[in-house]
Structure 1
Amino acid sequence: MPRILIAECKQEVSTFNPYLSHYDDFDISYGAAILDVHRGLPSEIGGALTVFEAAGIELVPTYSARSITSGGTLGAADFRRIADEFLAAIRSAPPVDGVYFSLHGAMASEDEFDPEGYLLAETRKILGESVPIVTSLDLHGVLTDRMLQHNDAITAYHTYPHVDFYDTGVRAARLLLRIMSGEVKPVMAKVEIPALVRGDELITATGLFGRSIRAAQALEQSGALAAGMFIGNPFTDVPDLRSNSFVITDGDAAAAEREALQLAADFWQVREHLHMNLTSLSEAVDIAQEITSGTVIFADPADATSSGASGDSNAILRALKDAGYQGRALMPFVDPPAVEAAFKAGVGAVIQITIGGQMDSRFEPLPITARVRLLSDGDFINESHGSVWHGGITAVLEAHNYTLVVTSRAVSLYDRSL
């Protein structure tokens, strides 16, 4: 019975976050516990498991480090600990016929700008060149030469917002089995694109970027082993940060290079449209003041915890208060001292605190008076994966017409379960 090793290491960082992330910001699992976490979930490993188990593969789960949310640059000692544990688990595994890794692609530590590439290179030293490795990645990953050198093949998300975690794992698992059987001999090509993009045109279902993804999918449907686009995380400021196209074919290097170049050229032609026209905060407040019904959404991507920011900007709240905005508003914050004060006072108490500016020195703490409406342990089951996320102890505060959801640790906010 063929034997496949499974391992996972996933984190996306913002190098602009003034706070480092640490080992304790990861959920760590070993051995069979990894399968217990993912089996039945719409995750990459969950998808891969359905393929491997249907094929009668003996699974060798080794190590999983999943960041609780995106965060700041990973501390050097913290990455060293994760890497040591990751590689030790691989060394202690029995001989295997193939390897499936679930990685993100946008990690960075204080002294390693390409953690995924490092883990892949060290894995090669342990297992040798003859054992095929296939890795699934986020399309916001930073695709490096070292990552490609030590992979036999890769797959990447084809959706943004991401909804194809499971399918990406399925594609990786199927490709690994084909490589192991000798059915295909993958060759990979990537083209570097000197562009960083953001905005609504990246929504694959409706935006221009969707054309690039559909072109990559068409290549897969017409015989390419894998194809896709990486647009990087603009907040992961490392030397290899850029956009990339990639194509993997069965032994046809010229075709892989030709098609990857075409994907890159088409992307390049529309690059100027792949940016969001931003609205100034003062103008946005004026718009909100003029609207008498419906909902106005303020998006602050630079402070998005789902991209690794600290989540403690109070600029929008301050602007609304200064303008005397009388409508209702719902706002998230990361502010441990405010949460601690709420827990000390209890539900129903009125407290005088400051909000925001506790971590990022660009923001001054804003004094407010608030009533403690609700207290929580901050654990919730997210709808995207069905796994448990941890926001730390959490308080819901009512400050006049503003409802503030205040967590004690950063947690991704795109899931309404919070």
Structure 2
Amino acid sequence: MPRTKKRIALLGIYHETNTFSRQPTTLEHFKSSFWLEKDAITSEYRGAHHEISGIIEVFEGTGDFELVPVFYTAAIPGGLITAGAFQAILDRLFELLDETGPFDGVVVVPHGAGVAESHPDMDGHWLHLLRQKVGIDVPITGTLDPHANVSPLMVSVTNGLFPYQTNPHIDQARAGRAAGRMMIDILANHKKFSHRLLQLPLAISIEQQHTSESPCLDLLQAADSIRSASRLYSISLLLGFPYADVREMGSAFILIAESDADVHQAERQLLAYVSEHLSHFNGKKVHIQELIPDFAEMEKPILLLDMGDNVGGGSTGSSTYLLEALDAAGLSKTFICLYDPAAVQTLQKSSEVPLSLRVGENSYPIRPKSYRMIEGKFKELSPRHGGFVNYDMGESAIVKTVNGQTVMLTSLRTVPFSMQQLLAYDLQPETFDFIVAKGVNAPIAAYRDACKQLVKVDTPGDTSADMTRFKFNARRTPLFPFEEPTNEAFRVV
């Protein structure tokens, strides 16, 4: 009996890889984070704010399509994915694809900045293998994180990719809906599209990537105006991920249209805008020592964004740099979360408050006044960066120091994307003068309602705000702010 519904596969491999991190990302990191097969995918994300949630919403809202969840795995950002881990993931993905197929279309959920030891363009590689597997007549649409470093290969083997357009990422479900609707346009409405990548001679500095503020807000508004005037299906900005030494590193646009002529005109206008405003995309870096004199006059609590130890960018989340500076300045009432499994174990075994405890990557000594153990799990039901619902910090401890600081110690690295990290354990943000968040823009969505002031602090680490401090061997040139591009760099190829 012939099938009446078109079957759409849903699958993804998701990782933001920091090639400057010394800690490799292993298969265990994926399996202990998100390793979801078949119906476990829809159970995790139905009704949430993730891109998969948007994809589910589109296809479950139509009677002509059947969404078949196949495989999705993600790991917290970190160092290079080991060759063995990537191969094991590929083996399982294609095993499940064979088991659940055939399909009329595939919706994919890559991050876009994945780097494996064996394949620098990891996402391009697995999407290319997928294209070979399903053939040229099966459409592939999908989503991307705007921090993707998109390669020409990724675009050439897919029909349409839609990055989220907010940072913090709170429009992920919208991007998922866009990918789903394009699939329906192709299969049900028989539309054909031109899908192009426009790489810019620019890597937008990380502290400039807040999309609700200039210069990114202005760039997005200009792109939307160009899209409307050019009658394009979509124009999407890719901020890029500066902590990956790959050819594709840098900012870009993805353009989708039903006419190549419309695309070329839009490309010229986008390049002209970027050329005119180039200097706006490299912001001022501010150090903690410069800020301390101003804290007395600032309304509390102050959110200190620890850019050099950005967990969401692949850092360890174990730097005590800001804690040490605040202690040295005699500033207390701070909340800071540190990844330190060894310190958690020490407190688990202790029958009384230790006289001293060394925490973080530099073994900074603190003197606990009291502490309590917690299970480390919490939920976030509102739209926040990442779209996650369930968080697990592992066995954790909350330490009150004699200096008046509150140090949360975790046994699993945890991204600071939800204020429930505090609220679930009876920590009220308004009782602190300083909240240190290990991120740049992502924590803003979580803390903007509670923190009267936020400050992006240039700190040392694997995600230092000044990308020119890192040694790149593979990036393309010219690329601002490393070089000043010539007029030739802004010509449409």
Residues 109, 115 of structure 1: 8 Å contact kept? yes
Per-residue deviation, residues 216-262 of structure 1 (Å, max 9, x unmatched): 34455564222111121111222210111121101x11211221332
Map of 1:78-157 to 2, 5 A cutoff?
78-157=85-164
Residue number among 31, 55, 77 corresponding to 1:70 in the alignment: 77
Residue number among 20, 26, 46 corresponding to 2:24 in the alignment: 20
Residue number among 5, 8, 21 corresponding to 1:4 in the alignment: 8
Per-residue deviation, residues 306-362 of structure 1 (Å, max 9, x unmatched): 111111111112222233x1431111211111111122226x6235221111xxxxx
With over 3 angstroms needed to count, the CA separation of the structure-2 counterparts of 1:337 and 1:131, relative to structure 1, is same
- Give secondary structure in 2 for the equivalent of 1:179: helix
Match for 2:109: what amino acid?
Answer: S
Q: Which runs of 5+ in 1 are unaligned?
A: 358-363
With over 3 angstroms needed to count, the CA separation of the structure-2 counterparts of 1:42 and 1:128, relative to structure 1, is same
| Bigger shift: residues 200-209 or 408-417 | 200-209
Match for 2:260: what amino acid?
Answer: A
Residue number among 388, 404, 409 corresponding to 2:407 in the alignment: 404
Residue number among 331, 356, 360 corresponding to 2:360 in the alignment: 356
| Bigger shift: residues 267-276 or 88-97 | 267-276
**Alignment partners' CA distance in 2, 1:405 and 1:294:** 20
Displacement of 1:5 after TM fit?
0.7
**Alignment partners' CA distance in 1, 2:365 and 2:306:** 21
> What's the C-alpha RMSD, in Å, of the aligned pairs?
2.0
**Alignment partners' CA distance in 1, 2:9 and 2:370:** 49
Q: Provide the TM-score with structure 2 as the length reference.
A: 0.78
- Find the counterpart in structure 2 of residue 330 from structure 1: 335
- Find the counterpart in structure 1 of residue 371 from structure 2: 373
Map of 1:32-51 to 2, 5 A cutoff?
32-51=39-58
- Find the counterpart in structure 2 of residue 249 from structure 1: 257
Residue number among 316, 321, 324 corresponding to 2:327 in the alignment: 321
Residues 336, 407 of structure 1: 8 Å contact kept? yes
Displacement of 1:147 after TM fit?
0.3
Per-residue deviation, residues 9-28 of structure 1 (Å, max 9, x unmatched): 21112222211122222211
**Alignment partners' CA distance in 1, 2:292 and 2:81:** 36
Residue number among 368, 392, 395 corresponding to 2:394 in the alignment: 392
**Alignment partners' CA distance in 2, 1:231 and 1:386:** 21
- Find the counterpart in structure 1 of residue 245 from structure 2: 237
- Give secondary structure in 2 for the equivalent of 1:92: helix
- Find the counterpart in structure 2 of residue 341 from structure 1: 346
- Give secondary structure in 2 for the equivalent of 1:119: helix
- Find the counterpart in structure 2 of residue 414 from structure 1: 417
**Alignment partners' CA distance in 1, 2:257 and 2:306:** 40
- Give secondary structure in 2 for the equivalent of 1:237: coil
**Alignment partners' CA distance in 2, 1:180 and 1:30:** 25
- Give secondary structure in 2 for the equivalent of 1:172: helix
Residues 9, 64 of structure 1: 8 Å contact kept? yes
- Give secondary structure in 2 for the equivalent of 1:3: strand
Residue number among 271, 288, 292 corresponding to 2:278 in the alignment: 271
Q: Provide the TM-score with structure 1 as the length reference.
A: 0.92
With over 3 angstroms needed to count, the CA separation of the structure-2 counterparts of 1:225 and 1:329, relative to structure 1, is same
- Give secondary structure in 2 for the equivalent of 1:297: strand
Match for 1:368: what amino acid?
Answer: I
Residue number among 257, 262, 280 corresponding to 2:287 in the alignment: 280
- Give secondary structure in 2 for the equivalent of 1:373: strand
With over 3 angstroms needed to count, the CA separation of the structure-2 counterparts of 1:264 and 1:140, relative to structure 1, is farther
Per-residue deviation, residues 348-397 of structure 1 (Å, max 9, x unmatched): 6235221111xxxxxx3212221442222222213423521222221111
With over 3 angstroms needed to count, the CA separation of the structure-2 counterparts of 1:146 and 1:165, relative to structure 1, is same
- Give secondary structure in 2 for the equivalent of 1:389: strand
Match for 1:297: what amino acid?
Answer: L
Residues 71, 308 of structure 1: 8 Å contact kept? yes
**Alignment partners' CA distance in 2, 1:51 and 1:294:** 43
- Give secondary structure in 1 for the equivalent of 2:147: coil
**Alignment partners' CA distance in 1, 2:297 and 2:39:** 54
Match for 1:316: what amino acid?
Answer: L
With over 3 angstroms needed to count, the CA separation of the structure-2 counterparts of 1:304 and 1:201, relative to structure 1, is closer
Match for 2:365: what amino acid?
Answer: P
- Give secondary structure in 2 for the equivalent of 1:214: helix
Match for 1:17: what amino acid?
Answer: S
Match for 1:151: what amino acid?
Answer: T
| Bigger shift: residues 142-151 or 175-184 | 175-184
Residues 355, 366 of structure 1: 8 Å contact kept? yes
| Bigger shift: residues 80-89 or 378-387 | 378-387
Displacement of 1:300 after TM fit?
1.8
**Alignment partners' CA distance in 2, 1:198 and 1:292:** 26
Displacement of 1:155 after TM fit?
0.9
**Alignment partners' CA distance in 2, 1:265 and 1:89:** 46
The share of aligned pairs that are identical, in percent, is 24
Residues 51, 143 of structure 2: 8 Å contact kept? yes
- Give secondary structure in 2 for the equivalent of 1:273: helix
- Find the counterpart in structure 2 of residue 360 from structure 1: none
With over 3 angstroms needed to count, the CA separation of the structure-2 counterparts of 1:99 and 1:329, relative to structure 1, is same
Residues 74, 108 of structure 1: 8 Å contact kept? yes
**Alignment partners' CA distance in 1, 2:8 and 2:299:** 56
**Alignment partners' CA distance in 2, 1:293 and 1:115:** 45
Displacement of 1:168 after TM fit?
0.4
Residue number among 295, 301, 306 corresponding to 1:295 in the alignment: 301
Displacement of 1:182 after TM fit?
4.8
Residues 117, 147 of structure 1: 8 Å contact kept? yes
Determine whether 1:58 maps to 2:66: yes
Match for 1:246: what amino acid?
Answer: I
Match for 1:23: what amino acid?
Answer: L
